[in-house]
Amino acid sequence: MIVLRIPPGYGNIPTRTVLKFIVPNLWRTHLVKISSTYVWLFRCMVISLLFTGCQGTGQTVNFDPRALSLDSNKSGTIHAEDLTIIVEPFQDARPEQYRLGSRTHLWGGVTKFNAWNGNISDGMADLAIAYLQQRQWRATKSTADVNTPHDVTLTGTVLSLQANAKSGFGFTDITVTMRVRFEAKNTSDGSTIRMVLGANGSDRVATFAPKDAEELINLVAKDLYKQLLQDLTVKDKAFHLQPGPRS
């Protein structure tokens, strides 16, 4: 029940006139209170959703990085020499071999990252084969039961491979780093080429999804293997380093 009290100074004014001005003001005040209550409840719901959506559950997200197409105009001449390459599984020399990285959530907690179900050695070797085949080299994976004649044996040691994400209010920063020591053994003259190459990348997204981190891993891996292919040339059925300074 609403009790109307006639303010001082309105005593000589007809009641209808007073009601005409006072009642609408009371109704508007009542509406403002109701609206403020709904706004407060809506804000609480949004904050609750943000809190639950930005908390880490400790689960592990597995990535499956794949080779991307190389731009032949930017990655050097495509080789068509009759060169047979055997790629052996890479060695994983990282301190934490069963972890790729993690995402730190805004309201606490983490989500762990991994790749190729933890088999980094085979995954990096598969990427090497895919990128070599793009350049029209005959590259296959080494198998213990088959001794395939070959001109070059390529392997590598993964020194660093990390993917991390850190969420803030309305954004997530993603970083990826790779560093690999490559080794190519030539069958014809017994020579060995060694090089250490690295690549890294970063990105910022408004709404994070696991595919954002996987796409950045793909781009960084593409840059790493592009460096490798730029630095190698073929002569007399063997790999040689390109003359001059390497980029």
What are the residue boundaries of the structural domains of the chain, listed by start? 1-53, 59-241
Q: What is the architecture of the domain spanning 59-241? A: 3-Layer(aba) Sandwich (3.40)
- Select the more confidently predicted residue: 47 or 149: 149
* Mean of per-residue pLDDT scores for the chain: 80
Report the pLDDT averaged over residues 129-142: 89
Predicted local distance difference test score (pLDDT) of residue 18: 46
Q: Which residues contact 192 (CB under 8 A, 6 or more apart)?
A: 183, 184, 185, 186
Copy the structure tokens of residue 242: 């390109």
What pTM did the predictor assign?
0.73
Q: What are the residues facing 152 on neighbouring strands?
A: 85, 186
pLDDT single digits (tens) 85-134: 999 999 999 998 888 999 998 888 899 999 999 999 999 999 999 999 98
Q: Which residues contact 158 (CB under 8 A, 6 or more apart)?
A: 90, 91, 92, 93, 94, 120, 121, 124, 178, 179, 180
Predicted local distance difference test score (pLDDT) of residue 130: 94
Q: What are the residues facing 85 on neighbouring strands?
A: 139, 152
Copy the structure tokens of residue 35: 């609206």
Amino acid identity for residue 219 in this structure: L
CB atoms near residue 20 (< 10 Å) = 11
Report the pLDDT averaged over residues 184-207: 95
Predicted local distance difference test score (pLDDT) of residue 207: 92
